[in-house]
Structure 1
Amino acid sequence: MAIPPKPWPTGLVEQPEPLVRRVLAPNPSPYTYTGTQTYLVGNAGTIAVIDPGPDDDEHLAALEAAIGGAKIAAIMCTHTHRDHSPAAKPLAQRTGAPIVGCAPLVLDDAGPRADAPFDRTYAPDRVLEDGESMTGPGWTLTAVATPGHTSNHLCFALEESGALFTGDHVMGWSTSVIVPPDGDMGDYMASLAKLYEREDRVYYSAHGAPIEKPRQLVRGMIGHRRQRENQILRLLGGAPGAIEGLVPQMYKGLDPRLTGAAGMSVKAHLIDLERRGMVSRSGDIWQTI
C-alpha cells in the first residue's frame, strides 16, 4: 500500500477512544508507513506509554507535551526494532518511569530493514511473560506473546475496552516482514492463529490506521501466507531455484526498495517449509521433496 499524501498528523495528539491517545513519530519510510505510532493509555493521572518510538528530539518533545503532568506507570515496548524502543531510555531518564514489556534482544540484522535493526540500548526493568499485566487507574494491559516478526514480540490487550496494541505483528497497511534468523514464519503463523482465537474489538498497530475488523483481517493474513507458501511450492515444483529468481515471479510490480524485504519473507517461508520436510536446499538452490 502506498504511503498517503501529506499532511500526516506527525507530533499531534489523536484520541481514537477514551482511554487511548496516540502520537505519530517523524520517521516515515517504505517500512514504517507514515511513521511509528506511540500510544498513551489511561486518563486519570497515571498512564502507560506503548512503543515510545525512535530516539528523536522532536518526537520526545511531542510525547512530553502529550503526557503533561501525568505520571507514567510504565514505558512498554512490543519489540526492539529501532523504530519502536530507543526512545524508552531517554523517556525513562526524563520521567523516572520503569521500562516494561518485551525481553531484550540484540542480533546483527543483515536484513533489509536498515531503518529498524535491533535496538542495542533497550534495557527493561521488568520483562512481561505471556498473560502478565500492568495496571493503572481504570486500565489493565495484559501481555500477549506473539513471536514471529521477532522472537521477543508482544502485543498488549487493554482489558477495559477490548483493544489490542499489535506493534508490528498485525498492521492494517502491510503484512509484517519476517527476517530470519530471528524472524520465524512458523512462529508468526502460530501467533496469527492465536490472535484469531481471541475476541478483541479493535487493533491499534504501530503503523497505519486502527483495524476495526481484526478477526477478518487476521483470517485474510493467514490465507495470504498460505497462498505464498503454495506459490513457492508450485514454482519450485516446476524447477529448482534460488530466492533471487523466485521474488520477481511472486511479487509483480514490487517497489524496488522492498525487494530485499520480499526476499527475506520468501526465505522465511522456505526455512519453514524445509523444517516441515516439504523442500530441501543445496547451497542457494531450493527444490521440492
Structure 2
Amino acid sequence: MAIPPQPWPTGKVERLEPLVRRVLAANASPFTFTGTQTYIVGGDEGLAVIDPGPVDEDHLVALEQAIGNAPIVAVMCTHTHRDHSPGARPLAERTGAPIVGCAPLALETLGPRADAPFDKDYAPDRVLSEGEQVSGPGWTLTALATPGHTSNHLCFALEGTGALFTGDHVMGWSTTVVAPPDGDMADYMASLDKLQARDDRTYYPAHGPAIGNPKQLVRGMIGHRRQREKQILRLLGKAAQEVGELVPQMYKGVPEFLWPAAAMSVTAHLNDLERRGIVARSGETWQTTN
C-alpha cells in the first residue's frame, strides 16, 4: 500500500468506536507508514494508552490533551521497538500511571536493521503474560502472546467488542519484517495461526488503517509467507546461493532501499528451514539438503 498524500491527521484525536480513540505520531517513514498510532481505550473514568510511540514532545502533548483529566489505568506497550515504547516513561512520569505490557528486551543485533532498533530503556512496572488482563471502568484488555516480529510482542484484545490491537504483528499497510536474531519466522507463523483461530471483528494496528476483514487478511499473510518459503526452495534447488543473491530475484519491482528489510525476512525463513532440516548453510551460502 502506498503512503497516502499529506496532510495526515498527526496529533489529532480520532474516535474509532465508543471505547477507542487514536492519535498519530509524527514519525512517518518507509518503515512506519504515516507514523505510529497510539490508541486510547476507555473513557473519562479511566483509560489505557497503547503504544505511546517515540519520545516526541508534540505527540506527548497531544496525548495529554486527549486524556484530559481522566485517570490512566496503564500505559501499555506491544513491544519494545523505538517507534512504540520510548514514550511510555515520560507519559508515565507526567500522569503517575504504571507501565504495563510486554517484557523488556535489550538485544545487540548484527548487520543493518530496517526496522526501528530496540528500546533498551524500557522498564515496565508489570509484565503481562498470555491471558492476563488490565481493566478499567467498562473495559478489559487481555494480553495475547504473539512472538515473531519480536520475541516479546503482545497483542491486546478489547473484551466484548471484537477489537484487537495488533501492534506490528499484523499491520494495515505492509507485511511485517521478521528480523533475526530476535525475530523468528516459526514463532511468527504460529502467532498468525493463533490469530486466524480467533473471531475478532477489527484489528487496530500500530501502522496503517484499521482492518475490517481480519480472518481474510491473516489467511492471505500465511499464504504469502508459505509462497516465499516455496520461492526460496525453488531458487536454492537451482543453485546454492547467499541471501544477497536471493533477494533481487525474490523482490523484483521492490525499491532497492527496502532490500535490507527483505533480506532479514529471507534470513528468518532460512533459519526456520534450517531448523527443520530442509536447508543447510556453509558460511554465507545456503543450499537444500535433498
C-alpha distance 224-115 of structure 1, shift in aligned 2 (>3 A): closer
Q: Which residue of 2 aligns with 1:57?
A: 57
C-alpha distance 134-111 of structure 1, shift in aligned 2 (>3 A): farther
Q: How big is the shift at 1:114?
A: 5.6
What 5-or-longer segments of structure 1 have no aligned partner? Answer: none
Q: Residues 238-277 of structure 1: matches in 2 within 5 Å?
A: 238-277=238-277
Q: Which residue of 2 aligns with 1:87?
A: 87
Q: Say if 1:111 and 1:264, in contact at 8 Å, map to a contact too.
A: no
Q: TM-score, normalised by structure 2?
A: 0.98
Q: Tell me the distance in 1 between the aligned counterparts of 2:55 and 2:78.
A: 16
Give the partner amino acid of 2:253.
G
Q: Tell me the distance in 1 between the aligned counterparts of 2:4 and 2:112.
A: 22
Q: Which residue of 1 aligns with 2:210?
A: 210
Q: Tell me the distance in 2 between the aligned counterparts of 1:8 and 1:44.
A: 27
Q: Tell me the distance in 1 between the aligned counterparts of 2:256 and 2:45.
A: 47
In the comparison of the two structures, how many residue pairs are matched? 289
Give the partner amino acid of 1:168.
D
Q: How big is the shift at 1:112?
A: 4.4
Q: Tell me the distance in 2 between the aligned counterparts of 1:25 and 1:255.
A: 25
Q: Say if 2:32 and 2:207, in contact at 8 Å, map to a contact too.
A: yes
Q: Tell me the distance in 2 between the aligned counterparts of 1:112 and 1:158.
A: 36
Q: Say if 1:31 and 1:115, in contact at 8 Å, map to a contact too.
A: yes
Q: Say if 2:114 and 2:260, in contact at 8 Å, map to a contact too.
A: no
Q: Tell me the distance in 2 between the aligned counterparts of 1:112 and 1:77.
A: 24
**Percent of counterpart pairs with the same letter?**
73
Q: Which residue of 1 aligns with 2:288?
A: 288
SS at match of 1:42: strand
Q: Which residue of 1 aligns with 2:199?
A: 199
Q: Which residue of 2 aligns with 1:144?
A: 144
1:96 aligned onto 2:100: no
Give the partner amino acid of 1:237.
G
Q: Which residue of 2 aligns with 1:187?
A: 187
Give the partner amino acid of 1:258.
L
Q: Say if 1:44 and 1:137, in contact at 8 Å, map to a contact too.
A: no
Q: Say if 2:11 and 2:26, in contact at 8 Å, map to a contact too.
A: yes
SS at match of 2:241: coil
Tell me the alpha carbon deviations over residues 114-162 of structure 1, each in whole angstroms, 9 at most, x when there is no partner. 6610001100000000000000001000000000000000000000211
SS at match of 2:233: helix
Q: Say if 1:47 and 1:74, in contact at 8 Å, map to a contact too.
A: yes
Q: Tell me the distance in 1 between the aligned counterparts of 2:15 and 2:108.
A: 37
Please identify, of 267-276 and 41-50, the stretch whose mean Cα deviation from structure 2 is larger. 41-50
Q: Tell me the distance in 2 between the aligned counterparts of 1:58 and 1:16.
A: 22
Give the partner amino acid of 1:61.
V
Tell me the alpha carbon deviations over residues 4-26 of structure 1, each in whole angstroms, 9 at most, x when there is no partner. 11010000000111100000000
